[in-house]
Amino acid sequence: MAGPNPASGPLLRAEAITKRFGATLALDALDLTIIEGEFFALLGGSGSGKSTLLRIIAGFDTPDDGRLLLDGADIVATPPWARPINMMFQSYALFPHMSVADNVAYGLRRAGTPRAEAAPRIAAALAMVGLTGFERRRPHELSGGQKQRVALARSLVMRPRLLLLDEPLGALDAGLRERTGFELRALQRETGAAFVMVTHDQEEALALADRVAVLEGGRIAQLGPPRAIYERPASRFVARFLGAANVLEGRAVAAGFDSTEAGATFAGVIPADTVAVALRPERIRLAANATGPNTARGVVEDAAFRGDDTLLLVRLAGGALLRVAHAEEDGAPPERGGGVTLAWDAADVVPLAS
């Protein structure tokens, strides 16, 4: 992964950005820094404030409170077109009566760019997204993926320092999503612009972004590189939102962490304020005869073959249902209804304080 240039400084700083819609607090004194040239993902569930934040950065909405600094200067009062920021809408928002070339030219025309300068820029932007030869088509003569490329070209032709992408892969089918994701990353590297992508898809965020912010109720629940967020979620919310991690409730004790619902003691580095632990399914192994801390007994309630592994749903002695990924190389998975003993390493127990 290329990652942002470590020498790059902050491009945009949101400071205590607050936005209310009536009684709804959409953004709650949110702080965020976007670094020059990075691929950043805003990840969150429905209503977490993702689109509101994007619209405020683009200038389509004004915060009730807080500052938005670009190169250190507040741009809250700067109109959208005067910001070196461009936004690609989920709906693409192409003009249906205009050709592809005219759609891409639109921003340049509005900015008064001379024709002689605009033409090569339009050609370059279309080439960048692989649409050379489509100049004269209308949006209704394009596939969904091609429309998206036109929308991208229309943004990139403005040479923004920051490109905002609202669910850029949302409208594409599964096959096209992966390819387009790689293409987005390549475009981001090629242009050197910072990309900020909004998504509710955790896999997409983890796969594409250099850094991810998980949003919850208008606040950032956790921010960091994908691997750090995935392996060390900071709270139950993040662990559950990222999907697949087992979250077990309990309390910190002298020996570690006692979970009645697991019927197990988790030994490891457990701070006193721990209220739950996260444990990833692929870190749990079958260990016949294992006893003591970091082991548990249960019964296999169901099993689903997933190609590389089999996902086991194991009902633990304490009542909790544990997801266990049983790798193919570890041999045949246990039968449904069979009793199993599970074990894991202390290093894989992630304490959660909230």
Ligand X SMILES: Nc1ncnc2c1ncn2[C@@H]1O[C@H](COP(=O)(O)OP(=O)(O)OP(=O)(O)O)[C@@H](O)[C@H]1O
Residues that bind ligand X (CB under 6 A): 21, 24, 26, 44, 46-52, 200
Which residues, listed in sequence order, are joined to residue 67 by a DSSP beta bridge? 15
Tell me whether residue 44 or residue 268 sits nearer to ligand X (CB atom). Answer: 44
Q: How far is the CB of 199 from ligand X (least distance, A)?
A: 9
Q: Strand 39-44 to strand 194-199: parallel, antiparallel, or no bridges (unpaired)?
A: parallel
Distance (Å, whole) CA 13 – CA 333: 50
Tell me whether residue 48 or residue 274 sits nearer to ligand X (CB atom). Answer: 48
Q: How far is the CB of 140 from ligand X (least distance, A)?
A: 26
Distance (Å, whole) CA 314 – CA 5: 44
- Number of residues written out for the chain: 354
Q: How far is the CB of 216 from ligand X (least distance, A)?
A: 10
Tell me whether residue 41 or residue 320 sits nearer to ligand X (CB atom). Answer: 41
Q: How far is the CB of 209 from ligand X (least distance, A)?
A: 16
Distance (Å, whole) CA 221 – CA 24: 18
What single DSSP character describes residue 242?
T
Q: How far is CA 220 from CA 53, 162, 196, 198, 212, in A?
A: 11, 20, 15, 13, 10
Q: How far is the CB of 153 from ligand X (least distance, A)?
A: 25
Token code pair at residue 265: 């003691």
Tell me whether residue 12 or residue 276 sits nearer to ligand X (CB atom). Answer: 12
Tell me whether residue 165 or residue 316 sits nearer to ligand X (CB atom). Answer: 165
Distance (Å, whole) CA 277 – CA 299: 21
Closest CA to 340 of 315, 310, 321: 315
Q: How far is the CB of 85 from ligand X (least distance, A)?
A: 17
Tell me whether residue 12 or residue 56 sits nearer to ligand X (CB atom). Answer: 56
Token code pair at residue 158: 């403005």
Q: How far is the CB of 152 from ligand X (least distance, A)?
A: 20
Tell me whether residue 159 or residue 240 sits nearer to ligand X (CB atom). Answer: 240
Distance (Å, whole) CA 257 – CA 266: 5
Q: How far is CA 346 from CA 260, 288, 310, 328, in A?
A: 18, 18, 23, 24
184 Cβ partners below 8 Å, 6+ apart?
A: 39, 165, 168, 169, 195, 197, 208
Q: How far is the CB of 295 from ligand X (least distance, A)?
A: 40
Q: How far is the CB of 57 from ligand X (least distance, A)?
A: 12
Distance (Å, whole) CA 179 – CA 168: 12
Tell me whether residue 50 or residue 236 sits nearer to ligand X (CB atom). Answer: 50
3-class secondary structure for 277-293? EEECHHHCEECCCCCCC
Q: Are 63 and 48 in contact (CB under 8 A)?
A: no
Tell me whether residue 159 or residue 219 sits nearer to ligand X (CB atom). Answer: 219
What single DSSP character describes residue 335?
P
